[in-house]
Amino acid sequence: MSVAVAAFLLDQISKWLVTYPAALRSREVIDLIPFFSLRWAENYGVSLSYLQADSDLARWALVAFTSVIAGGVAIWLLMNCDPINGVGLGLILGGALGNIADRTRLGHVVDFLDLHFGGWRPFAIFNVADCMISIGVIVLLLSSWASREKHSRSNPLPN
């Protein structure tokens, strides 16, 4: 659970930093290096701006939907006994809670990380919570793959 708290705090602190001290909303873009910028974006949907919540009803339905998913992840995390899966689940939960907090407090999620190569953007503008969720999923997938590999080596199929 400490991983979830750390991921949540890292996300919220990063959003506070770009919103207030960096004043990204009014500046719109801060170019850091040729292929990476801070760019203000308000995401009213979910990943890649899908499921746009363009009304109060849609906003709160999206909060409820993502909260149910986060609740499921929290239960899975509490029932989990594997430390590696616990890290993955904690990252996913902390990231999800960070985006839920934004949507509840602001009506949208603050996105600001912009990876680009010229005009080509391999990703939509994203935030630390999105990174935590993605890394958490990768951790779970790699852990599952490693577990299957270990199981298949210890229990070879008969000829």
| Catalytic residue ranges | 111, 130
- The closest of 85, 111, 114, 89 to 99, measured between CA atoms, is 111
Return the structure tokens found at 12: 């919220």
Alpha-carbon distance of 154 to 157, in angstroms, equals: 10
**DSSP assignment of 112-143:** EEEE-BTTB-SS--B-HHHHHHHHHHHHHHHH
Alpha-carbon distance of 142 to 74, in angstroms, equals: 20
The CA-CA-CA angle for residues 115, 116, 120, to 5°, reads 140
What letter does residue 55 receive in the DSSP assignment?
A: S
